[in-house]
Each structure stands twice: as C-alpha cells, then as structure tokens.
C-alpha cells in the first residue's frame, strides 16, 4: 500500500509537468494515462514503477554502480554533510543567475545517482531564495533512480540514456552535471536560451589522501581534468569558474561510506582497501572545479 501511494503521488506530481516530456522513440508529446503511464500520440507507453520513477530505457543496462554504492553515497551526503559546501556554492550560483525572476526554476540533474545532490540543492533554493523549483533527476542506473524515488518525494526521477533524454527541447533553466559523464549536444538542446549549465569536475587534490593510500603508481595518485575543462569551454559560452576546496574529518562510519561510494576502490588491491577501512579517522580533501556556461551565440 505504501508503494502504491508513492506511485500515485509521483503520477499526480508529474501530471503537472507532463508538457516537458517528449517520447524518446518518436519525440512526440506525452500525456499521463490512467494514473499509471506516460504515453505519446504514437502510443509508445512507459509505465510508472511502484516506487514512482519512470524507466525510459528499452533494455536492461548493467553498470558497476549498485545498491550498496548508492546507499553509501546518500549517507555520506545526507548524514555526513560531505558535499554540503558544494550544494551551497551551486545554489548561490543559481540564485545569482536568476536573481531577477520569481518564477519556478526547472533543474535537470544529469547523472543524478541516488538524487541527494539534487534534493539538497532544491531544498536550499526553496528555503533560502524563495523561488519555486521543479527538480528532475536522470541516470542510466536503475538502482540509483530507484533509491532516489524511495527517499525523495516531489521530484521527478527518470531512468534514461543521457544521449536520448525523454524531454522536449529548451525545457530547463539549469542543467547540473556533478562528477558525472556529459553529453554537451543534449545539454544544449535541453537548456533554455537563457539557461545555464553547471558542471562539477574533480581537481588535483580531490580525495588525494585516499588515492595515495590505495595506489603506489603516480599516475593513479595524481590526475588532471584539463581536457575536460577545455571541451566544456568549447561547447558553451564561458560564464565563470569556481575552485572549491575544503577538508573533512571522517570517523570510522564515514570512512566506510566513502570507501563503498567511490569507484577508486574498484582497481585497488583488497589489502589496501582494508587497510584504509581499518583507520579510526581520516582527513579527506574535497577539491572541485565548478564550471558555468551558457549556450554559444
């Protein structure tokens, strides 16, 4: 009964924004049908899951991003406040970009995972800046979207390929891309003419103590995102860039969540991972570059 109520709540919420959707198969407009599906004029039909999300993929896509990873990431973000300065920085950017409007802002989080970044950002905007906001999270991982829909209501959660999203063109004021792969052609299509894309990439100090503990080779301990930043700047009209760097003190529980969350452990030896897990505390640096762009003229 609880899951059925969650599905109905999601259907009712999405009904308010069904005009944003376009069929990923034929690109026709879509409508909510009988409180259970989104359907286009060519009768391509996508059902609401019992948790409230919609799966627009035509086949099962397996990824390494599983249930335990997403649960650990959510705990690290919500209980550990690991990325709280990032959420505050992003909401400040959004407020500065749309300071003259009191209308509802539409935010699409691409590669949203289990949805905690989007939920936190929307909550801050609603409480601090008094703007209405509709938040939509999209990810190819069904596990991530399922976790998001279980934990965060009054959002739209979608399983979809980023190269073929189920939305009409020019629907979003803000496109977020936080520590996740991008599709700049799709971002440009989806963004409103006065919209903004905010991409977050790791910088040289990001999780450096963890990388130094897990790996011995310098190329694993250090990396650069120069190519990623150059590609971003070529794809969008440059607005601004912000370097965000801070250190978090992690207790044993937070260390466990960090290790479960990060893909860094996938290529590390079991011994080095366990050695880090055995620590009682750790000082971990979060070092990020926030890139802000608009459509090229």
pLDDT computed for residue 17 by the predictor: 96
Q: pTM of the full predicted structure?
A: 0.94
Q: What confidence score (pLDDT) does residue 131 get?
A: 72
Whether residue 218 has pLDDT greater than 80: no
191-209 pLDDT, tens digit each: 999 999 999 999 999 999 9
Residue-level length of the chain: 297
pLDDT mean over 219-229? 76
Location of each CATH 3.40.50.150 domain in the chain: 53-204+222-245+285-294
Q: How confident is the model at residue 65 (pLDDT cuts 50, 70, 90)?
A: confident
Q: With respect to CATH, is domain 53-204+222-245+285-294 assigned 3.40.50.620?
A: no
What's the mean pLDDT in 177-183?
95
* Alpha carbons 195 and 236: distance in angstroms, whole number: 11
Residues 101-116 have pLDDT tens digits of 667 899 999 999 999 9
State what percent of residues in the chain have pLDDT above 70.
95
- Mean pLDDT check: name the lowest of 26-30, 58-62, 255-259: 58-62
Return the pLDDT at 104.
87
Mean pLDDT confidence for 217-221: 67
pLDDT band at 297 (very low <50, low <70, confident <90, very high): low
pLDDT at 66: 85
How does the average pLDDT of the chain come out, rounded? Answer: 92
Encoding tokens for residue 242? 């912000």
Over range 129-133, report the average pLDDT: 75
Q: How confident is the model at residue 99 (pLDDT cuts 50, 70, 90)?
A: confident
Higher per-residue pLDDT: 59 or 254: 254
């Amino acid at each position: 009964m609880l899951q059925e109520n969650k599905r109905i709540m999601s259907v009712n919420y999405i009904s308010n924004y069904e005009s944003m959707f376009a069929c990923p198969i034929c690109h026709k407009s879509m409508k909510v049908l009988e409180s259970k599906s989104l359907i286009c004029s060519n009768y391509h039909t996508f059902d609401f899951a019992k948790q409230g999300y919609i799966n627009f993929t035509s086949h099962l896509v397996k990824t390494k991003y599983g249930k335990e990873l997403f649960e650990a990431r959510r705990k690290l973000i919500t209980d550990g406040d690991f990325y709280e300065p990032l959420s505050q920085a992003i909401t400040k950017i959004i407020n500065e970009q749309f300071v003259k409007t009191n209308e509802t802002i539409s935010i699409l989080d691409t590669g949203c995972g289990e949805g905690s970044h989007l939920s936190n950002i929307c909550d801050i905007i609603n409480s601090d800046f008094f703007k209405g906001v509709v938040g939509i999270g999209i990810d190819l991982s069904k596990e991530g979207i399922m976790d998001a829909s279980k934990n965060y209501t009054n959002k739209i959660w979608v399983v979809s390929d980023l190269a073929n999203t189920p939305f009409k063109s020019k629907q979003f004021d803000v496109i977020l891309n936080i520590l996740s792969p991008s599709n700049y052609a799709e971002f440009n299509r989806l963004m409103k003419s006065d919209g903004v894309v905010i991409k977050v990439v790791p910088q040289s100090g990001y999780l450096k103590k963890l990388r130094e503990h897990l790996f011995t080779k310098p190329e694993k301990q250090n990396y650069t995102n120069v190519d990623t930043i150059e590609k971003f700047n070529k794809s969008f009209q440059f607005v601004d860039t912000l370097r965000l760097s801070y250190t978090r003190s992690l207790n044993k529980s937070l260390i466990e969540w960090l290790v479960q969350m990060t893909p860094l452990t996938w290529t590390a030896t079991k011994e080095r991972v366990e050695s880090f897990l055995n620590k009682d505390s750790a000082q971990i640096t979060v070092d990020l570059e926030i890139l802000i762009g608009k459509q090229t003229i």
